[in-house]
Structure 1
């Protein structure tokens, strides 16, 4: 005999409660008691003032609303045992970040070796500017180069022109200044 697991039964129960609760809610709202008002002393005229709910109606509506909400929460939070949980997703994300970080560190080290080889064949000012950017992992604002070296703004700018002409560096506009990237 095949045994059905408890998870589908709980889902089936939650669906049954939800459908029943919604049916009761709809029925109660459709069949509310109209409030009648008699007007005048000698003649009776009945007019509808609106809809009114008895205490029993209010109790049924409240219980049905809670049942519908609770069963909806159960249905939405039931997790499929074959799907990954939040913890699994976070663990996978952490391992992906770690492997990405390791590969980017390896790439940075390879690029650093290339940049150091290039640095050896530059003129004095070019080497000073290039080394300043290299020490910042290949990205540095132009104003920082001026601060980190004893070179003037004009000398740094001319030197960067020379490095750009040799395709060793690139300036990107960033706000009011430039950011220098080693290529």
Structure 2
């Protein structure tokens, strides 16, 4: 996500430079104004301080692009500087996973993970053997695991894993979200 923002900022900065160059070029070199001297002949003359409609259009468009790019870069810089330095240096206390269909990320806190480990003795008797196998795989993966990896790490078929995950979701123990072509399972 940060890479996309950096690439976007660089693209906006490049657009800003091009717009500023075009604006300066247009202001320094206006188009010649054609002044008709007689009925059959015309003379091209540069009149100082006068611009053709095309010049005015170029100036307006480049000024708008220049202002929009400058505003975007300023707001991006301001958002970056408002983050506290402690946020950059702190060790992460939770496992995060980017989910493509939603902005942001799914966060599994260490507290939830520890609570689910403590509750395991009370949860396990209520689950079937297949549900226990799947739930243990998710717990062992720090609370987040792709559904295809659950199938690969257990002896259960795709259909069984899918049905058992439906049941675990019904018991409000896990949740599934789309990620690309597959799904990601995480603790609730």
Bucket of the pairwise TM-score, normalised by the shorter protein: 0.3 to 0.5
Normalised by the length of structure 2, the TM-score is 0.45
| Higher Cα Rg, which structure | 1
TM-score (norm 1): 0.46
